[in-house]
Amino acid sequence: MIFISSTSVYPDKNQIAREEDFLVPDKPSGKALLEAEELLKELQEFKTTIIRFGGLIGVDRNPGRFLLKSSKPIEDAPVNLIHQDDCIDIISSIIDHDLWGETLNACCPEHPMKKDFYQKAAKQAGFSALVVAEQDAPFKIVDSSKLIRLLDYEFIYSSPMDYIDALSEI
């Protein structure tokens, strides 16, 4: 079984987040996902591979539209995003490699700052400049090196900025 989880299981404690970390999620959604992960790992009837995806970008998931929903200033912290094409490719690769019983982080290997990423996304989408928070926010940088190593995986979009650049070319 493949269980799609989220990087919300990792707290924002100004650290690099890895699969083997001891976890105490900040949010109720992260706590619920971690409980589900643990239940599935305990089952003996089958092996479950857990994929902890970062925030999803791609067709119909343009980051510029998320900016319209909030008047909060953009925090200056690294992003943990992944393109939907990489999500599908990673799931296929797990099946092709018969990789079961693992927990894998899945985010672009590069983590630009939110202010830089969302300013570029806003400009590309035709929005005015964004307000950036004056103080740094707690963060995490989700490390996908285990996934890259076990699947010999090469991301289609190594950086979320690559996706914004691709949108500009359309």
6-20 pLDDT per residue, tens: 999 999 999 999 999
Are residues 38 and 123 in contact, defined by beta-carbon separation less than 8 angstroms?
A: no
- List the one residue out of 112, 114, 99, 110 whose CA is nearest residue 147: 99
Residue 67 has pLDDT above 70, yes or no: no
Predicted confidence at residue 10, as pLDDT, reads 95
Predicted confidence at residue 134, as pLDDT, reads 74
**Tokens describing residue 71:** 């008047």
| pTM for the structure as a whole | 0.92
Percent of the chain past pLDDT 90, that is, above it, reads: 66
As a whole number of angstroms, the distance between CA 86 and CA 91 comes to 9
Are residues 37 and 9 in contact, defined by beta-carbon separation less than 8 angstroms?
A: yes
CB-side exposure of 135: number of CA atoms within 13 Å? 2
Tell me: the pLDDT tens digits for 70-124? Answer: 667 787 899 999 999 999 999 999 999 999 999 999 999 999 998 889 888 888 8
Predicted confidence at residue 88, as pLDDT, reads 98
CATH number for the domain spanning 98: value is 3.40.50.720
User: Residue 18: which domain range?
Assistant: 2-169
As a whole number of angstroms, the distance between CA 53 and CA 6 comes to 5
Q: In degrees, to the nearest 5, what angle opens at C-alpha 1 toward C-alphas 149 and 91?
A: 45
Are residues 108 and 157 in contact, defined by beta-carbon separation less than 8 angstroms?
A: yes
100: phi then psi, degrees, rounded to nearest 5:
-120, 150
Q: What total of structural domains would you count in the chain?
A: 1
